[in-house]
Structure formats: structure tokens, C-alpha cells
Chains A and B, each alone.
Chain A
Amino acid sequence: MLLLSALGLSAQDFSGGVKGTVVNRNGRQPIEKAKLTLMRGAEEIAVTESAEDGTFMIPDLDNGMYTLVITAPDFLENQVQVTVNDGYVKNMFNLSMTAVQQVTELDDDSFAAFDLDDSGYNDNPTILFGSNDVFNNIAGYNFSSVRFRARGYSSESQDVYLAGVKMNDAVTGYSPFSLWSGLNEAMRSKETVNGAEISDFGFGGYNGLTNIFGNASSVRKGLRGSLLTNSSLYRLRVMASYSTGLMDNGWAFAANVSARLGGNDWIDGVYYRSFAYYLAADKVFNSTHKLSFVFFATPGERGAQNASTQEVYDLVKDNMYNSNWGYQNGKVRNARVRKTNEPVTFLKYDFTPSDAFEASATVLYRFGKNGYTALDWYDAQDPRPDYYRNLPSYFLDFNPDMNRHNDFKYGWANEVWTHAKDYPSITHINWDRFYNVNRMQPGGRSKYIQEERHVDQKDLNLAASFKWRASDVVTVTGGLDGRINRTENYKIVADLLGGEYYIDIDNFAEREFSSQPWKLQNDLDYFIANGEARKLKVGDKYGYDYTAQIRNFGGWINGKFVFGNFSANFGAKLGYESFWRQGLVRKGLFPGNPADDEMAQKWAEYYVVPSEEYSYWRSKLARFFTYAGKLGLNYVIGGKQRVYANVAYFNDAPKFNQVFLSPRTRNTMMKDLNTVKTFTSDVDWQYSGGGINVRATAYYTTIKDQSKVMSAFDDLQNAFSNFAISGIDQMNTGLELGFKVPTYLVENLSLQGVLAAGYYIYTSTPRMTQTVDNSAATVMEDVLIPYWASSYDVNGIKHHHFIPSTPHLATSLGLSYNYNYWFIDADVEYFGRSYLDMNPLYRTDYATAGPDNQVTMDEIAYMTTQERFDPAWLVNFSVGKSWYIQRKYQLGFSLNAKNILNNRNVKTGGYEQTRMVDNTVSKERYYRFDPKYFYMPGFNYMLNIYFRF
């Protein structure tokens, strides 16, 4: 792959040869005395060393194909192919070397433009992708399609930095790749470390760290353009970038723009209308001072996919059925559209007073809008086409206890769903009906609207780090960081769908408190001031409005000690994290107490009863002191092998969204807030030499005291419920193996593969508190979830429950051919032992006992068993080629064909519904609602055509 990146060539006017500069990939510093051996087949043609500034020159070469082998102490061996023709000297520009201890970027130009980070399923790649680690190279690219997660860790444990600033979402912890999706050229240069290793830019966690440089001079020089089409995401991507590189006057400018447009072959209703732009400037004042400024954003929208039950997929004979869309006067319209425009800007200062010391400081600001539309309705029929009451199973179930048997209705429902294309107004959203219903309403009050839920961040970050090479033995790195985040959560009326207005009241509250109009109000203050609920127009906020206020501060330091081939790292981190909820509207259900006598008097006029719980104003402060420690040991054997080990302990704060019981309605937090304790360790062996790259890792991790809050409708309470779960422990252990070795049978043909075998289980019995949105009362308080970590089958045999949504066994074996600017890769993959995400309610005694309160083994086995997905085989193929035209332009293509066997039965995730069937004949037990699944697309391709000047 490096070959293709290194070919920003220019023609010269003398005899054939090759020249370039050998640099450290991290920091682009020149490497002196690197040994360069030029091979033609097995014949050694020339040997030279790089100069003090890293440059080299091998002249007087005949036309032909050569292999250039570069070696240097403490660096991984590198090989590139080069073609000399027409007597020109091929300028390889920068040939970067990877430090033995540092795994860095892969030049992924041949296929990285395939936007794995924007799959439409979520915004996060499943593992850190774009490193030069042989395992990550293969797993990162090929395994994302099945939502493989490295070592079974959650995506929020994956640290993503931009210019030294940790970008993980302040509220949820999720890695924010969507902020720069479509800016592949601008964000290409990055540094990545695995597992618990420490980066120069930040302390990191236990699931690796990627730091994207993002500044102007990190963008490759020249004009580049590409056209891309792929059949599983969007039809067309047009992208262009230009970079001046660092000019003699010390300035560097770069720009990158793109548009991603259209639908795809697999999921109807999913589309992209996304744009991206990036502008950057660097100013190098002198060898000591450098300033970088960057501004970018990716405004646009894309239609989303929805999960459905297997019943629906089977009926329509399509596992990619998407219930989110329907026709509006014959045109496709998606109800769930993500609309984002979140610009990011940063100013970075680099200070390099000497070769021994370097430091940088970045101030970064993220702002803008992040909206996600959905249907909302008031006192109207549920508009979702795959609502369970619309499906054949609602009318016929051969279990007599389910009390469903009406052949006539079953026949009709079955007819509709098995001929879905003939009944689009029933099997998809019926937009025209919404308009007609709304227009019928007296006064124009809409019954159906499209809302837009916003999570708008104002995120100010400051990060500073330094690296001090105190001696040949000791290198110290460290840093400070701070974050002020204000995330406003609210929703607006996006479309009244033909009506004139919508009313700002709580539908769920109205079911219970219709005689107490003050209790129905989403904005009680408005109601009291005006004597009626607010009439909403397009763009008006309604429903809920609150901010998550987050303040984080911390510092870290790491010492690296090198004794010959042995080195060790000791690192520590301290932090303070705090957050609170700030309610911006007073909700009728939880008004709190009146602020003064005047308010109390007004409340009395409307019979408003004060409450202990507040929807308005500021919650209690949640404060956490966090700390972490890391130890890394590293031993280099003979320049080609490395054995290393890491051990680390983290005491992390929970996230905002894991603490508040029902942040949309009130300030109430979980009672016992605990930090999350993580212990992790790994032992690794790496070999790199003679074209062989191998990495093997064994790891063991425990994560304790996790918490989370789920919200869903509970049939038994007939209300919207919140389930706060605490005390979730897990253990993740396993092996990773990645290798790429020459076949020795055919020149330039390598055998490559990975094996990721993990055992990720829950190890605790968590506790759960259930509340409902309509009331401060607790439905279930601190009850055990006894079947969370394991369940029992009907024979009483215990079965563990596993960390869901990632295969515990993932393997790939393939061949890679690379010759004369061609690359051809083919591989076969196997994924096994993936599990469905569990719903805690089904694992309680309450659910297993049923209405009769009698627990049977059959009920336990039925209600608590965790579903295991079927294993999957996949075959992928990639080919690419580039050409130089007039020694000035480069034109190339890459074609990736995935899932060639067209396997359309690969579940990539899903979830259990929280609902239970309770209206049975026997009144002895509950039944689950069917789970919902996501599937992987069948055969799909990506074709990228690019040019460079």
C-alpha cells in the first residue's frame, strides 16, 4: 500500500534512479543512516545509507521493477516497490519508517475511502482502523461489516483524539467519527496505539488510541480528486483536496471538500445528502514555533435504517426491510433522518525549542446542530407499519395461552405482508394519510408531526502535552487537559405535515391525568402565564429541554526508560469530572416547589401541586475523582522481534447518560453512583522482517461497577418506563493473532490472516430500579437481576451470558498480491459466537415468575436465555491499480467486492424489546415480544477512481 502513497512523482532529466527521504512516521523527523537495499528479484543491485537529513539517492539504474528494502535500528523493516523507466529518477519523497514500539498509520489510499465510519448503522468504526498493525489492518477493514469490536470492548472505550484533544462525546463517550466523515484526505494522517499502550498525545484507555493530526501540513501535497460509488451506503461520493505542503515562506494551506449522495442497493429509504469541507493553515515561524488553524464541518443529512422482527423479515423475504420510510404522493420519504452540522475548529501551537523537548497546546471548539427526526403523534394510531398489532402473529399463535386465533384476520395480514410491494400504504409509512388526518382536524391541530430531536453541543477543549527526551535512557511525556461541555437536549417541530399547529402537552401524562391539565404540560410556566398549552409552529422547541453540563479536568504523565533492548513505561493519570442536569423548562409532572410567593399563588390558581422532584433548574452535582495507572514493558530481540506487556488500572467516572433516571423529565439521579473500575493486562509478541509481519496478543480485562439507563414502554405499567441498572461487571479475555507472510511460491504473493478468539462474559448480578415518566414513585427499587450473568435451561444447567453485539470468534485467511502498481486481495472470513443484547427486565424474578408468582424452570429458560446468532462465512475480494500518465498525473482505481457469496442471513446486532405479553389465558406467565435485528447487506461493492497531480 505504501507504494501507492509514495508516488507523488516528478520527472527529472537524467539517468534512471531512485531517491527520497527516510523519515520517522511519527513526527516526520529524518532518519539518519537508514540502510537502503535495492533488490531486483533476488539480486541485490545497490546498497546505500540515508544522509543526516534522511535523504538518499541510488543512481544509474536500468529500467525495470525493483524492491527497495529499508532498515534502521529501532524501526520496523519497510519494503516498497519502485519502477524505473525512461531513464528518470523516481523521487519517492518521504519513505516513512515505523518505530518498533510504535504502530502507526497504514497508507490506506487503495481502499480507505470506503467510509466504514459512516455505515448508516452508527457513526463509529468498530475498531481503530488505519494503523500499520497487521492485525488491525485486516480486522479493521474486513470485520467492520459484522460490527466486530476489538476484544469485545464497547465503542466508547475507544479513544479518538484530534490534534491532541480527546474527541469522545462528553455525554455518551462515543467516538465521534461522524464529525469528519467525508474528509478522508484531511484526516488521513494519524497515529494509533493498541490496547493499553500510551501515546505521546494522551494517556488513553484500554482500547487503543488514535490521534488524527488534522493540520494543513499533514495533508498530502498536491491536488487530488476521487469518485467513489458503493452499493451498500451511498451511490456517489465526489471528493477533492488540495494542499500546498509546507512552502518556503513557512505557510502551508490545505482544503478538502466532498459530497456523498444517493441511496444504495440494499436498504430502501437510506440515503445520503451529505457534504463536507475543511480549511486549514499552518505557519512555521521557525524551527521552534508553529501554529496551526483548522476549521471543518460535515453538514448534511442521511436517512436511517430501523430494526425489525424476524417475522417481518421473513414475511417480506428481505432481511434489509426498513420500516422507516414510505411514499408521499409516490415519492420516497424517510421518517428518521439524521441532520447534522457540527463545525469543529482548533488552534494548535507547537513548541520545539530543542531536539530533546517538544510541546504542543490545542484549543478546540465544537458547536452546531445535531438533529434526528422521528414521527410524533397525539391521540392517533401508531404510524409504524411493523407495529406488532399489524402483523400476522398478532392474529394467530398456535400457543393457546397467547389467546390469538382468528384465521380471517391472519389470512389478510399475511396476504399483505407476503405481498408487501402491492400494499405500500400498509407495509410502509403512509405519509399521505398523515396529511389527510391533519387537514381534517378542526382548527388545524396536527395529529401527526415530524419532530427533530436535538443533541447540540458546545464543547470547549484545551489540551497540552510535552515530550522531553531527558537522556538516552529517559523520555518523559505528559499533558493537561480540560473540557467544558454544554449539551442541550431538546426537540423541535420539524414538519406539521399539513396541519397548522401542534400542542405542547405530554401524551403519556394525559392518559392518567386528563382531569388535571396542569400535569399534562411540558411547559408549565407557559400554561400558567397564558392559561393554555403552547401552540407550536415549525421550529418551535417542545417536549423537553435541558442541558447536560460537564466539566472535566485532568493531567497525566508517563516515563519511558530505555536500557538497551529493554524499555519500560510508567504512567499515571489524575482527573476530576463533574456534571449536572440543567432543566430549561418546568414540566407539569415534576414542577418542584414554587420559587416565590407570587409563583405559589399562581400555582394555587391552577391547583398545581408541588413535587419533591424537579424538572426545572439545576440538579445535584455528580462529582468524581478519577485516576489510572499504566505499566508497559518492552523487549526488542534482534531488531525484528518485540515482546511486550501492558498492565493498567482505571477508575473512571460514569457518563451523564448512565446516571440520570429520566433526564427528559426530571433531575433525579441514580441513588448510588459508582466509578467504573477496569483492570487490563496483555502480553504481546511482534515479528517484522523479511516481509513477514506477525503479532500475537493475549489479554485479560475486568470491568466492574458499570451502570446504564434504558427507557422503553412497559406494558405492565402501561407507561413509559426507565430502567436504571447498576453493578454490571464483565470479563474480557482472549487471543489476537495477525500475520502476513510471503508465500515464497509466487513472488509478491503473501498469505495473510487474523484470529480473534475472545471470551467476554458478564460476571455479576446487577441491581435495577424501575421508574415511570408519569410519576416519581418507584415501580421496582434496587431489585436484583439474578439471571443477568447466566441463566438455566429446562434441565437446570447453567449457561453464561455473553457481551453482545460482537463476534467472540472472528477469523480471516487470505492472499495478497502486490506487483507493478497492482494489488489484489482475497480472503475468507468466519464469524461465530455473536450474541443478542439483553433486556434486564426479562432477567428479573418479576418477569420469570409471571402473574401467578410461580417460577418454573421452563419460565426461567424461556425468559432469560440469551440468543446466540448463527455463525457466518464471508468471502471478499479487492483489486486496484494505478498508472502514471505523462509522469505528471496519477490515475488509479480500487474495487472492493464484499460478501461475494451474497450471504444475506448475517445478523450484525439487534436488541430485545422490553415489552411482555401479559394478557394470556392462563395468567400464569409472561411472554417476550420478538427481538429486533439488524442484518449485514449481501454482496456489495465499492469502486473508487482517483487522480492526483
Chain B
Amino acid sequence: MKKFFIAFSIALVAFSSCKSLKEEWDPVFTFGGNTPAEQKLYSEADLKMLGFPGTFTSIHDLKALYKNGPYEINSNIWIKGQVISSDVSGNLYREIYIQDETGGIDVKLGKSSLYSDYKLGQWLYINCTSLCLGAYNGMPQLGVEPDNTSTNEYETSYIDVQAIIDQHVFKGHYADPPAPLVVSENDIKAAISAGFTGELWGKLVTVPGLLYKNEIFALVYPNPNMDHKSANPENRVFLSDKGTWGIDSWAMSKNLYITYVEAGLFDSAEVGSGATRYGPITGRPVDYLPKDSKALQSFGSYAYKTYKEIMVTFATANYVSHYFRIGKTDVQVRTSGYAKFADETLDSRITKDGAACDITGILTVYDGSAQFTLVDEPSVSVVVK
């Protein structure tokens, strides 16, 4: 009997240790979890191990490298900056803004919910080598080489491969977020004049004393799944040139968009290519129902429906740009329809009573115009005087 147990004990040990003893048995003997590893926060000394040359290039100097097209960075350039944007409210998507004393820049980190990984005020160190500097309608962006596709309109592409992020973006220590820079109309004009290297672009700023212009701009696509570039004017509805179109919210969630469409707010909107302003006007949503269906053939089985019906069927969230003015300079506040505050209405004191307000956000440039992206809720970002 004793021999049996000895033999079995030997067999038991042999069976248990055939392969990769450690990893294979990890989950078997882990009860209640084990302590996770702390994330690495890099110091400048750590960076030297990674090829950091010892001196950071300022964001302004980085921008200055840009000429008139995508600039692939082939030298050992590193920048550092503090995180000034958060996508927690959903108004930013797959991008993060950092700034130093000389300027700010849009880093196209192509991941969602970046606020979960990068804290406001945290220092980031970016090894720009092999990344790409570009512009989107004048706004400086840092990404990777542009996509080589027939439809690409961007000078940079998202940094959405985790390995590229891991090799180029290093988290530094936490710090308080920088205070927004209070700017005047002249500061904005100066930035516009400076163009791509304008110091304000991509920075966290407060513009005091803005007045609402009672004007919005939005371009919605009746069927976003179909081609909606200028080559397909049927699929573009412009909400512009006619005040606010009854839109009193910062943007339009899908639900609110449907409500607006069904309420007839956009019945007189124009459909067109946008090639010349809005291009050839091909119709209006409320009554655009040609019986021969020629003009709406691209809508397929929906060709005989009205724009309103198509817009409701394929509804998605839509952005809205509200126009404000400081002095004689327009500043748009553009808000994503996916922002959690998209459906919040603008304070009626601003829209109806003509009250001035101070707005804080990331200042960007779009085709020579200043544009705001609210980082936080309007209740925080927009202070009514």
C-alpha cells in the first residue's frame, strides 16, 4: 500500500510540472487577484535612456517647421507640454491638446476616452521623430504620415496604433492644469495674422465679453452612410444664413436632431454641393419629392421619400457652430452632437437678452477664423456677465 502512495505521489508531481509551471498555474493559485503594476511616469532623466537629446523643442519652434504640406519629422525632436483638453464630456474625439509657454498643438492620439489615460495638467513628452506635422484648415496638428487613400483630406493621420503611442508619447508627472490665458480681440487678430504658428491656436484661453450673433452654421447629411462630399449635392443640407434655424442647443444629439427635423425647423434649408458657397440649390427638405426620382436616385430604395423622412431614418448626432463676436471679430463655438451637453440650451440671457459672456476653451483656427472647442460643460465654460 505504501508503495502505491509513493508511486502516486511521484506521478502527481510529474503530471503537475510538465510545462511552463509558473504561468500555467498562475490563475489556479491566484485567489482574490494580485497587486497590479504601477504605471510608469517618466522623468527627463528616464527619457535619456530612450534617446531624448537633452533639450526640448518648443511647440512654437515645432510648428515653425511646417511649410505648405505634411512635414515628416526626421530629426530627433522632442517636445513637452501639459494636457489642457479632456474628452470626458464627449466634445473632443481621438485628439488631445497640449501646450507650453510658446503655444499649443493638437496631438492626434487616435484613441477614445483619452481622459482615462491622460490627466488634465499632466506633462507629456513626445518624441516627434517619424511623426508628421500637418494642418487642418490652418490648425496645427501632430500625427503620423497621411493616409494614402483616394478620399484622404488630411495632412496627418491619427496615431492610433498603440505601439506608436508607446514609442512616442511618454507620460510625465501630474501637475495642476494651467490657467486659461485671457485674450483680447487684438490677440485673436494677431493669431489669425500669424497663421499656422499663431501662439493661441491649440491653447486654453478665455475670451471675455463675447456677444451672441444669433447665427449658426451646420451641415447635415440626410444619409450619412452614403457619399456626402460635394460631388453628391443631394446628400448635403446646409443650415446657414438664416439665423439660428430655431436651434437653441449647443449641438444636436440624434434624438434632438430628429425632434428638430420632425418639428419642421429645417424645412426651408438648402440642399447643395457647397462648391460655390452652397453650390447649386437642388431643393428643400420639406417638399423635395420628385416623382421621377432622377435627382434622388442615389438614395436607392428611399428615392421616393422626402428629405425629412430620410433625415429621420438615418439620423445621427450633428455638430452646430454658434457665432459669437468680440469687437468686430467672429468666434465660432463649435460643439459635437456627441458631446454630453449637446442638447443643453444656450443661456437665454445670452441668446435673447444680449448679455455678454466669457467663454473658456481650446482656441483653434479654421480657414482663418477663430473657433472655440469647449472642454468642460457650458455651465463651467460659459460665464454670463
Contacts and interface: CB of A to CB of B under 8 A. Distances in A.
B116 A380 contact: yes
A549 B15 CA distance: 45
Contacts of B161: 390, 395, 409, 412-413, 416
30 contacts: A227-B8, A228-B15, A235-B18, A235-B25, A262-B16, A263-B23, A263-B27, A265-B18, A271-B24, A271-B27, A273-B27, A303-B27, A328-B36, A331-B30, A332-B24, A333-B26, A337-B27, A381-B113, A403-B147, A405-B147, A406-B144, A407-B148, A408-B157, A408-B164, A409-B161, A437-B116, A440-B117, A498-B36, A515-B256, A945-B8
Interface string A931-945: 000000000000101
B113 A334 contact: no
B342 A515 contact: yes
B28 A262 contact: yes
A903 interface: no
Which residue, of B27, B254, B343, has the highest number of chain A Cβ atoms within 10 A?
Answer: B27
Interface string B78-90: 0000000000101
A379 B115 CA distance: 10
Nearest to B298: A852
Interface stretch (A176-184, A345-353, A427-435, A460-468): A427-435
A413 B144 contact: no
The winner among A337, A389, A400, A412 for most chain B CB atoms within 10 A is: A412
Contacts of A404: 147, 149
A75 to B, nearest CB: 38
A716 B225 contact: yes
Contacts of B39: 432-433, 436
Interface residues of A, number: 81
A891 B15 CA distance: 17
Contacts, number: 197
B12 A238 contact: yes
A718 B253 CA distance: 14
B130 interface: yes
A426 B163 contact: yes
A400 B8 contact: no
Interface of A: 225, 227-229, 231, 235-236, 238, 261-265, 268-269, 271-273, 303, 328-334, 337, 379-381, 389-390, 395, 400, 403-409, 412-413, 415-416, 423, 426, 431-437, 440-441, 447, 495, 498, 510-516, 716, 718, 849, 851-854, 889, 891, 918, 921, 923, 943, 945, 947
Main SS class of interface, A: mixed
Given A328-B34, A423-B163, A440-B117, 10 more contacts: A268-B23, A395-B161, A405-B148, A432-B36, A495-B33, A512-B253, A512-B255, A513-B255, A514-B340, A921-B149
A395 B163 CA distance: 14
B46 interface: no
A882 to B, nearest CB: 14
B145 interface: yes
A303 B26 CA distance: 12
A495 B27 CA distance: 15
Contact of A329 (B34, B119, B150): B34
B24 A329 contact: no
Closest 9 A-B residue pairs measured CB to CB?
Answer: A853-B300, A263-B24, A515-B343, A229-B15, A435-B36, A332-B26, A436-B39, A405-B148, A329-B37
Chain B residues touching A, majority SS = loop
B149 to A, nearest CB: 5
B15 A236 contact: yes
Nearest to B167: A412
Residue in B8, B34, B161 with the greatest tally of chain A CB atoms within 10 Å = B161
Interface residues of B, number: 66
B316 interface: yes
A511 B338 contact: yes
Interface centre among B34, B37, B301 (most CB of A within 10 A): B37
B226 interface: yes
Given A379-B113, A447-B113, A235 B16 contact: yes
Interface of B: 4, 8, 11-12, 15-16, 18-20, 23-28, 30, 33-39, 88, 90, 111-113, 116-117, 119, 130, 144-151, 157, 160-164, 166, 223, 225-227, 253-256, 298, 300-301, 316-317, 338, 340-344
Contact of A440 (B119, B144, B253, B254): B119
A891 B148 CA distance: 69
Given A329-B36, A415-B163, A408 B145 contact: yes
Nearest to A893: B11
B343 A389 contact: no
A512 B343 CA distance: 11
Contacts of A447: 113, 116
Nearest to A331: B26
A380 B87 CA distance: 11
Contact of A406 (B8, B28, B157): B157
Given A330-B37, A447-B116, A921-B151, A515 B28 contact: no
A408 B144 CA distance: 8
A8 B10 CA distance: 25
A225 B8 contact: yes
A303 B25 CA distance: 12
A850 B137 CA distance: 33
A303 B34 CA distance: 17
Contact of A409 (B160, B225, B317): B160
Given A332-B27, A853-B301, A514 B157 contact: no
A516 B256 CA distance: 11
Contacts of B34: 328-329, 331
Contact of B253 (A406, A435, A513): A513
Nearest to B113: A380
Nearest to A271: B27
A432 B24 contact: no
A132 B254 CA distance: 63
Contacts of B300: 849, 851-854
B164 A440 contact: no
Nearest to A889: B4
A461 B24 CA distance: 40
A677 B16 CA distance: 50
A447 B115 CA distance: 11
A331 B30 CA distance: 9
Nearest to A332: B26
A426 B227 CA distance: 34
Contacts of B33: 328, 333, 495
Contacts of A379: 88, 113, 116
A265 B86 CA distance: 45
B148 A406 contact: yes
B16 A236 contact: yes
Nearest to A430: B162
A231 B15 CA distance: 10
A403 B15 contact: no
Contacts of B20: 263
Given A271-B28, A923-B226, A947-B4, A236 B12 contact: yes
A264 B21 CA distance: 10
A333 B31 CA distance: 11
A356 B36 CA distance: 69
A516 B255 contact: yes
Contacts of A235: 15-16, 18-19, 24-25
A690 to B, nearest CB: 40
B11 to A, nearest CB: 5
Contacts of A268: 23
A231 B338 CA distance: 50
Contacts of A231: 18-19
Contacts of B166: 426
Given A381-B112, A407-B148, A921-B151, A261 B28 contact: yes
A436 to B, nearest CB: 4
A406 B160 CA distance: 11
Nearest to B162: A426
Contacts of A434: 36
B344 A515 contact: yes
Contact of B316 (A406, A431, A718): A718
A333 B24 contact: no
